[in-house]
C-alpha cells in the first residue's frame, strides 16, 4: 500500500485528472503498460492447480472450434490464438482443452481493474487483460518504477494472477517493453534509451504492424526496427501512406498519445419510433432482426461481448413492455438474433398497435478477440470476419440478412439505404 503522504498526493492528482486525458506533449512522462500473462489460462489454473506446467488450450472444444488462448507450454509447439482447434491438437496431442468461461474471466478482470484504480492517478483499460496508467508526477515523492513494481506485486498477492509491465515515456515503448518482459516480469526503459531498446527488435513488435504490413516490410527487406529508424520518414510514407509515417514514429520511440481515463460502457442499444403505429408483424420482425444484427456488429467492432439481451415494445396506448434474458457471453449474429426474436415473440401483443420497438445488449465485457471464440465454429468466425471487413470498407449496412430487408418500408427513414445497394445474406442456421 502507498504511504499516507503518497496516498494524499495521489488523491489530489486523481481529482485533477478525473475524466481528462493525461497531457500528451509535456516531457518527463512516465507511462505504465501492464498485461495479465496468458490471462485465461492463468484464471483456469487458479481454479484447478493440476493445470500448472501443462499445455492448455482454451476455446471451442470441437475440431471445428478455434483457440481463444493457450499457455506458454502450448506456444512452444507453435500454437497461437485464433488457430483452428484441430490444427492445435495435431501440433500438441497432449494439450488439455477447456471451453472457457467469459463471465469468470470478466470477474477477475474487474478485480484487477479495481486494484489499479485505487493505486494510480489515470487508468486506461484497453482490453480484458491490458491496462495503461499515467504515473507522471508520482516520481516526485514515491518513484514510478517502485510504484509500478509494488502495484504488480499487489495484483499477484491479491488475485494470484501473474502479470508483466513495461515503463517508459510513452505507450508504444511501454507496450513493447511489456512484451519483452514476459512472462511474469518487469522492464523499465529510461528516457533517452527508447531507440537503442527498439532497434534490434523485429518490426513485428511495433504496435499496429499486422501480418499484412509485416509481410510488406519483409518484402522490402525490412526485418529489424533499426532499419526503419535509419530510413527517412518520407520513404515510409511513400510505401505505406500515413500508416507508414505512424510506424516510423513508433519505431523511433515517438508517441504522444495520452492515457485516457477508463470508463466502462455497460450497454449499447437502439430503438425505432414509428410515424404511424403499426401491427405489420412481418416488418416489425424485420426491423428487430436488423437492429439485433447491427448491434452485434458494433459489439465486434468494439471488441465486446454481451451477456444480456433486452427487447422493448411501446404500444399505441403508451404502455411499455420489456423482456430480458441472460445468455452466455457472445457477439455472434446467429445467437443474438435468435434470442432477440424469441423475446419479441413473447412480449408482442397482436391486438395493439406498436409505437416503438428497441433492442439493448448489456452486461458487456471486453476482450482481445472479436467474437465468441469459446462457442463459435471456424466457419462462423470466417463468415463474420468476412462480413465485418465488407462493413468496415463500405459501411455498417453494406451486408445484411435477407429477412431484415423488410425494415426498408417502415419507419421515418430507411436504415439500409445509401449509395451502395446492400448485399443480401440469407439467414444461416446449422
Exactly one of 73, 119, 130, 375 is catalytic; name it. Answer: 130
Q: Hunting for cell 438474433 — which residue is that? A: 337
Residue whose C-alpha is closest to residue 84's, from 57, 51, 103: 57
Query: Distance (Å, rounded) from C-alpha 100 to C-alpha 74?
Result: 16
Distances in Å between the Cα of 274 and the Cα atoms of 221, 284, 407 are 59, 11, 12
Phi–psi pair at 83, nearest 5 degrees:
-75, 140
Query: Distance (Å, rounded) from C-alpha 292 to C-alpha 270?
Result: 9
Pairing of strands 56-59, 96-98: parallel
Residue whose C-alpha is closest to residue 330's, from 370, 368, 294: 370
Burial of residue 77 (CB within 10 Å: 0-12, 13-18, 19+) is: middle
Question: Residue 292: enclosing H or E segment and its boundaries?
Answer: helix 281-301
**List of residues 6+ apart from 202 with CB closer than 8 A:** 223, 224, 225
Centroid of chain to Cα 33: 16
Q: Would residue 130 show up in a list of annotated catalytic residues for this protein?
A: yes
**List of residues 6+ apart from 389 with CB closer than 8 A:** none
Q: Cβ of 279: how many Cβ atoms within 10 Å?
A: 14
In the three-class reduction of DSSP (H, G, I as helix; E, B as strand; rest coil), residue 299 is classed as helix
Centroid of chain to Cα 130: 10
Residue whose C-alpha is closest to residue 115's, from 34, 55, 194: 34
DSSP letters spanning 101-121:
-HHHHHHHHHHHHHHHHHH-S
Residue whose C-alpha is closest to residue 73's, from 46, 53, 45, 59: 53
Cis amide leading into 260 (omega within 30): no
Q: Hunting for cell 487483460 — which residue is that? A: 129
Angle at CA 106, nearest 5°, toward 134 and 376? 120
**Hey, CA dihedral for 96, 97, 101, 107, is it positive or negative?**
positive
Give catalytic residues, as residue numbers: 130
Amino acid at each position: 500500500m502507498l504511504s499516507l503522504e503518497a496516498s494524499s498526493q495521489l488523491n489530489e492528482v486523481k481529482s485533477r485528472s478525473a475524466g481528462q486525458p493525461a497531457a500528451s506533449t509535456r516531457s518527463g512522462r512516465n507511462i505504465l503498460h501492464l498485461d495479465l500473462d496468458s490471462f485465461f489460462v492463468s484464471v483456469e489454473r487458479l481454479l484447478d492447480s493440476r493445470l500448472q506446467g501443462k499445455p492448455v488450450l482454451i476455446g471451442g472444444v470441437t475440431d471445428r472450434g478455434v483457440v481463444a488462448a493457450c499457455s506458454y507450454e502450448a506456444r512452444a509447439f507453435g500454437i497461437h490464438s485464433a488457430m483452428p482447434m484441430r490444427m492445435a491438437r495435431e501440433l500438441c496431442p497432449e494439450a488439455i482443452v477447456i471451453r472457457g468461461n467469459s463471465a469468470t474471466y470478466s470477474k477477475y478482470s474487474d478485480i484487477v481493474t479495481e486494484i489499479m484504480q485505487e493505486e494510480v492517478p489515470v487508468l486506461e483499460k484497453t482490453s480484458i487483460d491490458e491496462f495503461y496508467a499515467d504515473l507522471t508526477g508520482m516520481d516526485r515523492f514515491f518513484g514510478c518504477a517502485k510504484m509500478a513494481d509494488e502495484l504488480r506485486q499487489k495484483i499477484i498477492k491479491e488475485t494470484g494472477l501473474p502479470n508483466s509491465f513495461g515503463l517508459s515515456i510513452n505507450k508504444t515503448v511501454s507496450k513493447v517493453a511489456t512484451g519483452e518482459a514476459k512472462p511474469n516480469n518487469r522492464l523499465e526503459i529510461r528516457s533517452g534509451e527508447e531507440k537503442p531498446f527498439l532497434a534490434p527488435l523485429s518490426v513485428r513488435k511495433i504496435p499496429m504492424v499486422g501480418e499484412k504490413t509485416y509481410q510488406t516490410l519483409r518484402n522490402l527487406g525490412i526485418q529489424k526496427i533499426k532499419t526503419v529508424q535509419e530510413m527517412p520518414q518520407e520513404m515510409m510514407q511513400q510505401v505505406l501512406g500515413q500508416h507508414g509515417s505512424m510506424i516510423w514514429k513508433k519505431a523511433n520511440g515517438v508517441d504522444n498519445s495520452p492515457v485516457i481515463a477508463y470508463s466502462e460502457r455497460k450497454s449499447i442499444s437502439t430503438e425505432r419510433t414509428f410515424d404511424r403505429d403499426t401491427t405489420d408483424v412481418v416488418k416489425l420482425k424485420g426491423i428487430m432482426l436488423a437492429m439485433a444484427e447491427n448491434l452485434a456488429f458494433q459489439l465486434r467492432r468494439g471488441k465486446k461481448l454481451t451477456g444480456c439481451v433486452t427487447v422493448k415494445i411501446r404500444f399505441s396506448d403508451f404502455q411499455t413492455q420489456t423482456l430480458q434474458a441472460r445468455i452466455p457471453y457472445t457477439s455472434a449474429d446467429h445467437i443474438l438474433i435468435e434470442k432477440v426474436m424469441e423475446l419479441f415473440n413473447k412480449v408482442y401483443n397482436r391486438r395493439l398497435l406498436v409505437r416503438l420497438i428497441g433492442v439493448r445488449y448489456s452486461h458487456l465485457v471486453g476482450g482481445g478477440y472479436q467474437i465468441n471464440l469459446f462457442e463459435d465454429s471456424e466457419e462462423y468466425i470466417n463468415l463474420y470476419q468476412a462480413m465485418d471487413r465488407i462493413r468496415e470498407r463500405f459501411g455498417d449496412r453494406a451486408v445484411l440478412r435477407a429477412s431484415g430487408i423488410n425494415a426498408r418500408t417502415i419507419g421515418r427513414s430507411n436504415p439500409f439505404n445509401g449509395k451502395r445497394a446492400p448485399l443480401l445474406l440469407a439467414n444461416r442456421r446449422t
